[in-house]
Structure 1
Amino acid sequence: MKIFYVYLLKCSDDSYYTGITSDLSERVESHQNGKYKDSYTSSRRPVQLVFYCEFTEPEQAIETEKQIKKWSRAKKEALIQGEFERLPNLAKKKFNR
């Protein structure tokens, strides 16, 4: 059974990068080495793997990656820290009165 990984990297400029792969160690190494010169992480090295999760269905992994990419920084950091109970509240939009 093939495993797919959705992962988050913390970049040297303190930003986060979200990606998907079927070979996590090779993918992180390619980010770290700047293998793709025009990629988001190439000019933001070194990078650090701060979160990953595993999937057996590629469609579910792709949907999860797309979802996380839309999240706020605060929500990504709650995920990284394992504070799953905070995720629903961080999804709510704040309105000014």
Structure 2
Amino acid sequence: METDHYFYVLHCKDDTFYGGYTTDPARRLKEHNSGIGAKYTRLSSRLPAKMIHIEKFTSRSDATKAEYAFKKLTRKHKIAYLREKGVKKWP
């Protein structure tokens, strides 16, 4: 069975963005919001987080490259990237 790989973006309660990688977006969002996700999203000031963007890839390498590229962007460029991908607004 072939596994799908995902790059995703969360919008956190403190109005920041978090980019990540997973094979199961629903499970990963639950992990973040329960405080067992990434260290970045464990702060109560960042929760709850909402998944606002998901991209599907056929390889882990491609998904993690997308994650790495997103994390290197400035906030201004992250917003431009999300708008280019069709994310019009976030909470």
Query: Which category describes the TM-score, using the shorter chain as reference length?
Result: 0.7 to 0.9
- In structure 2, how many angstroms separate the alpha carbons of the residues matched to 1:72 and 1:82? 15
Deviations 1:9-37 (A, max 9, x none): 1111111111000011000111011124x
Displacement after TM superposition at 1:63 (Å)? 1.1
- In structure 1, the partner of 2:89 is none
Q: Cα–Cα, structure 1 residues 54 and 14, in superposed 2: closer, same or farther, change >3 Å? A: same
- In structure 2, how many angstroms separate the alpha carbons of the residues matched to 1:15 and 1:5? 20
**Cα RMSD between the aligned structures?**
1.7
- In structure 2, how many angstroms separate the alpha carbons of the residues matched to 1:83 and 1:2? 23
- In structure 2, the partner of 1:12 is 13
The share of aligned pairs that are identical, in percent, is: 31
- In structure 2, how many angstroms separate the alpha carbons of the residues matched to 1:83 and 1:55? 15
- In structure 2, how many angstroms separate the alpha carbons of the residues matched to 1:8 and 1:41? 12
> Helix, strand or coil for the counterpart of 1:41?
helix
Runs (5+) with no aligned partner, structure 2? 87-91
Map 1:1-97 → 2, pairs under 5 A: 1-36=2-37, 39-43=39-43, 44-82=46-84
Choose 1 or 2 for highest CA Rg. 1
Q: TM-score, normalised by structure 1?
A: 0.77
Counterpart code for 2:78: K
Q: TM-score, normalised by structure 2?
A: 0.82
Higher RCO by CA contacts (8 Å cutoff, separation 6 or greater): 2
Deviations 1:52-90 (A, max 9, x none): 100001111111111110011112112222368xxxxxx
Runs (5+) with no aligned partner, structure 1? 85-97
Counterpart code for 2:49: V
- In structure 2, the partner of 1:87 is none
